[in-house]
Amino acid sequence: MPDLQRRLNFLHRLALICCVLVLAIVVISAFIRLADGGPGCTPWPQCYGQQRTGAAESQTQASPGIALARPAHRVLASLALLVVIALVVSCFARRPFLWREGRLALALLVLALALAVLGIYSGGARIPAIGVGNLVGGLVMFALCVRLCSRRRPTLSGDTAAAGSLGVWAGVAGLVLLTQVVLGGLVSTSHAGASCAGWLDCSAALGAATQPWQALNPWVEVRFDPQALPTHRSAAPLLWLHHVLAALLAVVVLWVAVLAWRAGRVRLAAAMVLLLVMQMVLGLTMVGGMLGSSLGLGLALAHNLLAALFLALLFRLPRGSAQPRG
């Protein structure tokens, strides 16, 4: 049907615009969250967490970069909401309804409205739940946009057993990655990045903590003395758990990459392995003492960006069918 194909083409173009807008919002939001009182601030470590712990309350003291980033974030978020509404309208404005695309568009609309409400409380928020909600919501929106961009493809020949398992294991990997994103958001918003150095030090801090898992509560206001070294030691269990889950995620993703290769998704399998290696290198570099350096903020932003791409890739995998190798 030529008319249906025109609608699908228009929908995919809108979804591509939405992808670009949401990815820009994710990066700018991460910059706002991390720039002041985060990785790369000076003087280190006294500056760490000052914007969240009350040492610098007024937004007028924000850096010039953040002063520009905030209005840009609002404008892009408003544009993204309009594009998402246009996606929903294009799916259900006339028959036949595009139910597959429409469900994704409706999910995008719900997320966009939820993030708009959350944004009202984001300014000066001291509880980690606000920052974590913004982070997870933005990343899931981007992943849904990427999936909406992907066109329907017919089922082709290939390793059907691997293709059948691929969707299940991609879902498992997606859930593990989302959990890791939540933990990463807690590490960032709780300023746990400098609470311990390396696996052994984090394990020692975990063993010495009287209430080790209290740091997992996202509704508790973050308070610590930035003069004390290591900074915010009570949040070390968060960083320890983040490291443990990173190892588990690596194993699951490598298995998904094997299944994708067997199912004929060779390029996607290679992309997953490449993203995994890059993310691990970034994480190890930050653990190795780059926090507080001039590269700290850039590494943290890259870490967020790769997480968004990783999640989008896993969201895209279940829709893929088996394809012949080569």
How many other CB atoms are found less than 10 A from the CB of residue 94?
11
Q: Could you give the CA distance from residue 201 to residue 207 in angstroms, rounded to a whole number? A: 10
As a whole-number percent, the residues of the chain with pLDDT over 70 amount to: 80
How is residue 175 written in tokens? 């859930």
State residue 5's pLDDT score: 82
Average pLDDT over the chain, rounded to an integer: 82
Q: Which residues contact 53 (CB under 8 A, 6 or more apart)?
A: 37, 126, 191, 222, 223, 224, 226
**pTM of this prediction?**
0.85
pLDDT at 323 over 80: no
How far CA 72 is from CA of 28, 84, 113, 218, 308, in Å, comes to 8, 18, 18, 27, 20
What's the average model confidence in pLDDT over 274-297? 76
> Over the stretch 71-99, which tens digit does the pLDDT of each residue have?
999 999 999 999 999 999 999 988 888 88
Q: Which residues contact 112 (CB under 8 A, 6 or more apart)?
A: 80, 81, 84, 141
Q: Which residues contact 58 (CB under 8 A, 6 or more apart)?
A: none
How is residue 156 written in tokens? 């082709």
The phi and psi torsions of 108 (rounded to 5 degrees) equal: -65, -40
Q: Could you give the CA distance from residue 64 to residue 195 in angstroms, rounded to a whole number? A: 28
Q: In the chain, where are the structural domains located?
A: 2-319
pLDDT at 37 over 90: no
